Amino acid sequence: MQQVEVPEVVVLRLPLYVRALTQLQREGTSVVSSQQLGERLQMTPAQIRKDLSYFGRFGKQGRGYSIEFLLEELRDILGLNGEWRACLIGVGRLGRAIINYTGFAPEGFTIVAAFDSSDVQVGASVGDLSVQPMSDLPRVVDEQGISIGIVAVPAVEAQSVINRLVEIGLKGILNYAPVAPYVPRGVVVRNIDPVLSLQSMTFYLKSD
């Protein structure tokens, strides 16, 4: 459908729209203008309209956007109308915290398997999952219909674990390890790296 390649920044903003619209919907609103949405999200109405225009025409002139309709469309564009199954690699402190994080499931992301390279961890229970050995990874990914890998291993192991995930055919990786991993084209990586965030923040703080 997308004739003109959609800029990545636009894709990054779509979930923001979904979230704001969901909130508006819960508040009982059924129609919203780009103006109003822009005020919520601290962005210009023009940008919102431009972003949406990459995907189609969802609004009504003179009225605005039907929240229900636009939400449905956006969720469809982003592929959020279904369950995404993920596996977690690395069940140290961080990995355990991720498994127990309650924010994923309500949004349709489920961690259905946990792996660790250490024999000490294999067999342990984490949340309601049993930790499995890395050798089982290909089989479980296949059997369980897993399409996302969540990486929570130490920095030194991250790249090799990610290589393994890519090799197995996973196309989406959520990486919590403090490294900027290399992946081949066609694989999407998102890094969660609070230390990087802090380190760029301090640039602006130190001047005080």
Beta strands in 53-166 (DSSP E): 59-60, 64-66, 84-89, 109-116, 125-126, 129-133, 148-151
Binding partner of residue 69 among a copy of itself, DNA, none, CB under 5 to 8 Å per kind? none
Q: How far is the CB of 185 from a copy of itself (least distance, A)?
A: 11
* Chain positions contacting a copy of itself, by CB under 8 A: 11-12, 14-16, 18-19, 41-42, 77-80, 84, 93-94, 97, 100-104, 107, 109, 147-148, 171-172, 174, 178, 180, 182, 188, 190, 192, 194-206, 208
Binding partner of residue 83 among a copy of itself, DNA, none, CB under 5 to 8 Å per kind? none
151: phi then psi, degrees, rounded to nearest 5: -105, 120
Q: Of residues 18-57, which lie at the interface with DNA (CB under 7 A)?
A: 32-35, 43-47, 49-50, 52-53, 57
C-alpha 195: how far from its chain's center? 19
Amino acid of residue 70: L
Neighbours of 30 (CB within 10 A): 12
Q: How far is the CB of 49 from a copy of itself (least distance, A)?
A: 19
Binding partner of residue 34 among a copy of itself, DNA, none, CB under 5 to 8 Å per kind? DNA
- Neighbour-count burial for 165-195, b at 16+ CB within 10 Å, e otherwise: bbebebebbbbbbebebebeeebebeebeee
Based on the shown chain and the rule CB under 7 A, indicate whether residue 58 belongs to the binding site for DNA.
yes
Copy the structure tokens of residue 73.
């469309």
Could you list the residues that contact DNA (CB under 7 A)?
Answer: 7-10, 32-35, 43-47, 49-50, 52-53, 57-65
